[in-house]
Structure 1
Amino acid sequence: MMKSMCIKSVVLFCAGWSGLVSAWADGRLMPAQVPAVYKQECAACHMAYPPGLLPAASWRRILHGLDQHYGSDASMEPAQVQQIGAWLQANAGTYKRVREEPADDRITRSAWFVRKHREVESSVWKRASIKSAAQCSACHTQADAGNFDEHQVRIPR
């Protein structure tokens, strides 16, 4: 009887864990399917940020201001903007920590980002190997895949 209960507990635990993993995978910050135009256009200057890092309203404003994109002209053809915009809107962050629209629509100014990085000294962001807080992949070794697990962080010198 005890062995049967243990087996049932393990099966229920694994089934529950499997459901959580599936839910997490479905809500990943970087969807499995990333449009080639997003990688080509956006990742040409910076990492292709996972759409789940900002709410839909922030992505909308960013795309409408590409001619003055954080000090650069990142203009694209209207069809490209439409394709990227539809994908960003469909995959934008909707969970609690991303509902806020950060100052200047900057990921690095969101409350959750500041809270998660509060122990990082400002001098670290200025290292030549990092350059700024916006260079996620400098420290998050799997950022391009949307994985920001703190156990995968390697802060370069």
Structure 2
Amino acid sequence: MSIRLAQTHDAEAISRLSEQLDYSVNPETCAEHIAYMSHHPDVYQLLVLEKDMEVVGYMQLTVVRHIQTQSYVEISALVVDERFRSLGIGSKLIQTAKAWTQELGYERLVVRTNENRERAIRFYSRGGFRELKKQTTFQINF
């Protein structure tokens, strides 16, 4: 297994993996996002994990800057192919996230998950994360 920065040619795999968590993003849009993030490495890290030359997981790390709090790193996305879950891939990605956070000098690593994703909640709890709060998300579509 190896972890590397995502490249635009990974868009198809990332799009496919996103669908496993009910997020629909077409490969073209995905490639645009990858290109943008690659030009801002001080804010984004989009990593893929390969096993036998196949992308079987990805993780997006984002530096979050709010005026009212200290900046921190957030795991904006973490997906492991359902065929390869419970093999330590997610844990390997989390270790990479922790290392990048510390390397940049941030003191907090945050992750959010939907409260109905019980398996993800258990995974993050085992990884040392503690529940901070529950929120309600509002959105307006235009």
For this structure pair, what is the TM-score category when the shorter chain's length is used for normalisation?
A: under 0.3
- TM-score under structure 2 length normalisation: 0.24
Which one has more relative contact order, counting CA pairs under 8 Å at least 6 apart? 1
More helix by share: 1
